[in-house]
């Protein structure tokens, strides 16, 4: 029997999931729905979906599986719409939201309709957005969290993982509250801190424009995550409020300790603060994809000669290696410059490094 999959929300994540399913099960009929009609047409033209759906009421009742790929608040609203529709018995509904407790609570009543809701969170992303950036390898080796409740039989959990096997992700099962606590600590809190730092520098830049000029370098790099969608992060914070408030309190306590160290000029404690952080960070896996979007950056030393940048890009183009970004970090007359090349995946970075080294370019990564 041919399976019908409805993807609600045709952006980077929804489009990439559709491609992954299509790759594993080409016979699956993939239907797409989005309030943005341009996204629907683009997804259809790129053959990411088979057909465009004009309304949820049209396709949801005949779908074997529904993937909701939207911000958390929108996801809950979509679930409310699904509750009023005569959904197919035994159908699976899942989402991709960054918070799970409120979404799973909204989806639980679907069990009364003979429909199985399984919360999901693929921990992968890209610097690019929109369905045009979708690719089936987006989730490869990334963690894909599933948060089934006790009402979900193991057979349905296995069925969902089987449908999504084309993602080549690593599936992990957590309860919704535990997921939100973990995500809050390693993803949501860092976004808040990064945004706070940007606000602080921007305020200083109002008085002295040179601050913003200097921030264009390393500061801009370490606060990259602050460029994420404001509406998405508004929803995440509001729906993970109970977990984030205690974390913010703990963070403020740590900053108070740092302030106290400085006031006392306590060299030993200041050293211990940084050495302890270094030791903990160095123990983190460097080749695994976690909750925060990974950056696959390769640095290339380049001589100050005309055409050297085009030579580097030509080498990559010859091997069909895609770049997501290229930046000249330092290029002054008569000294070596540095190119920072950003890639979609670790595989692309490794291949690029090998090819450039063969052309006698010195390359290095910063872990």
At residue 335, the pLDDT reads 44
Structure tokens at 237: 């914070």
At residue 261, the pLDDT reads 96
E-state strands within the chain: 4-8, 29-33, 51-52, 65-68, 92-95, 116-122, 143-147, 170-173, 296-302, 323-330, 337-343, 363-364
Query: How far apart are the C-alpha atoms of 141 and 347, rounded to whole Å?
Result: 11
At residue 333, the pLDDT reads 43
Structure tokens at 322: 């895609």
The torsion region of residue 9 among left (phi > 0), alpha (psi -120 to 50) and beta comes to left
Domains in the chain: ranges and CATH: 4-174 (3.40.50.720), 179-282 (1.10.3660.10), 296-364 (3.30.2130.10)
Sign of CA dihedral 286, 174, 158, 15: negative
At residue 338, the pLDDT reads 81
Starting at the edge strand found earlier in the chain, the sheet holding 29-33 runs 51-52, 29-33, 4-8, 65-68, 92-95, 116-122, 143-147, 170-173
Instruction: Count Cβ neighbours within 10 Å for each residue of 87-106 and write b for 16 or more, e otherwise.
Output: bbeebbbbbbbbbbbbbbeb
At residue 297, the pLDDT reads 82
At residue 331, the pLDDT reads 44
At residue 52, the pLDDT reads 95
The torsion region of residue 114 among left (phi > 0), alpha (psi -120 to 50) and beta comes to left
Tens of each residue's pLDDT in the chain, 367 residues:
689 999 999 999 999 999 999 999 999 999 999 999 999 999 999 999 999 999 999 999 999 999 999 999 999 999 999 999 999 999 999 999 999 999 999 999 999 999 999 999 998 876 567 888 888 888 888 899 999 999 999 999 999 999 999 999 999 999 999 999 999 999 999 999 999 999 999 999 999 988 888 887 778 878 888 888 898 899 999 999 999 999 999 999 999 999 999 999 999 999 999 999 999 988 877 655 555 555 678 888 887 677 888 888 889 888 888 787 787 765 444 445 788 888 877 788 889 999 898 888 888 876 5
At residue 334, the pLDDT reads 44
Length of the chain equals 367
At residue 287, the pLDDT reads 54
Q: pTM of the full predicted structure? A: 0.77
């Amino acid at each position: 029997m041919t399976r019908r999959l409805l993807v609600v929300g045709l952006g980077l994540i929804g489009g990439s999931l559709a491609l992954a399913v299509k790759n594993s099960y080409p016979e699956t009929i993939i239907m797409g729905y989005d309030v943005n009609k341009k996204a629907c047409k683009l997804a259809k033209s790129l053959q990411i979906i088979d057909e465009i759906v004009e309304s949820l009421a049209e396709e949801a009742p005949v779908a074997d599986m529904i993937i909701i790929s939207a911000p958390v608040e929108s996801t809950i609203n979509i679930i409310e719409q699904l509750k009023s529709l005569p959904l197919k018995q035994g159908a699976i509904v899942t989402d991709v939201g960054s918070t799970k407790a409120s979404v799973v609570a909204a989806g639980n009543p679907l069990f009364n309709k003979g429909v199985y809701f399984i919360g999901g969170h693929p921990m992968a992303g890209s610097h690019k957005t929109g369905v045009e950036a979708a690719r089936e390898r987006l989730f490869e080796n990334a963690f894909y969290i599933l948060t089934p409740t006790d009402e979900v039989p193991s057979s349905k959990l296995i069925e969902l993982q089987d449908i999504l096997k084309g993602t080549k992700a690593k599936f992990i099962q957590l309860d919704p509250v535990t997921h939100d606590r973990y995500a809050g600590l390693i993803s949501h809190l860092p976004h808040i801190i990064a945004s706070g730092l940007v606000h602080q520098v921007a305020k200083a830049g109002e008085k002295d424009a040179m601050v913003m000029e200097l921030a264009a370098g390393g500061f801009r790099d370490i606060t990259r995550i602050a460029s994420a969608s404001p509406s998405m992060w508004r929803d995440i914070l509001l729906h993970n409020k109970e977990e984030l408030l205690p974390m913010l309190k703990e963070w403020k306590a740590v900053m108070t300790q740092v302030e106290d160290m400085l006031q006392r000029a306590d060299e030993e404690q200041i050293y211990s603060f940084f050495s302890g952080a270094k030791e903990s960070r160095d123990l983190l896996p460097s080749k695994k994809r976690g909750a925060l979007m990974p950056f696959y950056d390769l640095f290339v030393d380049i001589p100050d000669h005309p055409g050297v940048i085009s030579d580097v890009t030509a080498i990559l183009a010859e091997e069909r290696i895609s770049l997501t970004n290229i930046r000249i970090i330092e290029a002054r007359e008569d000294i070596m410059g540095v190119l920072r090349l950003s890639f979609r995946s670790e595989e692309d970075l490794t291949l690029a490094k090998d090819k450039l080294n063969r052309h006698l370019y010195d390359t290095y990564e910063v872990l």
